[in-house]
Amino acid sequence: MALVILCTGCNAGRQQEALAEPDTYAYSIRTKEELRSFFSLDKADIIVSGHRGGSFADYPENCLETMKRIIQNMTTFYEIDPRLTSDSVAVLLHDTTLDRTTTGKGTLRETSYAEVSKLFLKNAKGVTTPYRVPTLNEVLEWSRDKVILHIDQKEIPFTAMSELVHRMDLHNIVFSSQVPSNARYMVSVDPDVMIIAWMHSMEEFRKFEEAGVLGNIVAVWVCTDSIGKDQQELAAVLRANGIRVMVATATSRDRHRAAFSSHPDIIETDYPLDFIGWKNVRR
């Protein structure tokens, strides 16, 4: 599978209109130390993350042009969703089906890359845009010396993803992990892997601690919307271990203020540009 994924950059250079413009807020991550430094709590600010690659106006989710536009306006990093076509080409798509976000129909796993490459992406309102479904390879290559990518593990084995990242000599990648056993496995495959974990309680924190993976975790998603009173201890312990506390507003702009007011270290949102100019937000 890794060899197939490594060949998925066949349409790189297809989307030149967005790629031709400057990346005003791009940044270079060339070592694991620089990756850790990006998430360091010493900066005492709030980082905004683009959920599903972010979106705004006519720019859809998991879209290379969208990510390009956002990095021209603010410092961020992107959570992305790689999945496989029927012929095992890795592309970015959150859903298992094509219907919601593309002009196609049916499941991605039953559709060839040749077919997917002809589809157009839809924006959040379901309106067709001129943008295509990007391959994982072209997004990874574009991200080099520009931005951190947070890879949400869907169906592609971590071993294949790790091999791909190492062969491309990328140091700007973090991976998600929802359970301690998965995080422990990831560390056994790649001792230097950087992880964004899911923890909602002190009990879950202790399980990750027992798994011996805290040193690989740079951030933890603790809740949707805002940090509650019952999570204050968890937030304090995470920060004491040098780990950023993340909340997610996801698709709801109405919850931005509540999320911000709970004083997180990272806010993950579909609409990162909404936070430009907010106090303490990294710019």
pLDDT tens sequence for the chain (283 residues): 543 554 444 443 344 344 446 778 999 999 999 999 999 999 999 999 999 999 999 999 999 999 999 999 999 999 999 999 999 999 999 999 999 999 999 999 999 999 999 999 999 999 999 999 999 999 999 999 999 999 998 899 999 999 999 999 999 999 999 999 999 999 999 999 999 999 999 999 999 999 999 999 999 999 988 899 999 999 999 999 999 999 998 667 888 998 999 999 999 999 999 999 999 999 8
Nearest Cα to 148, choosing from 167, 177, 171, 178?
171
The tokens for 89 are: 């080409």
Q: How far apart are CA 210 and CA 205, in angstroms?
A: 9
> Cβ(141)–Cβ(9) under 8 Å?
yes
> Cβ(222)–Cβ(234) under 8 Å?
yes
Relative to beta strand 90-92, strand 148-151 is: unpaired
> Cβ(81)–Cβ(154) under 8 Å?
yes
Enter the pTM of the model: 0.92
Burial of 41 (0-12, 13-18, 19+ CB in 10 A): middle
The terminus-to-terminus CA distance of the chain in angstroms comes to 38
What pLDDT shows up at residue 254? 84
> Cβ(256)–Cβ(275) under 8 Å?
yes
What pLDDT shows up at residue 255? 86
- What lies within 8 Å, CB to CB, of 219 at 6+ separation is 39, 174, 196, 197, 243, 244, 245, 246, 265, 266
> Cβ(217)–Cβ(225) under 8 Å?
no
What pLDDT shows up at residue 33? 97
The tokens for 181 are: 């056993």
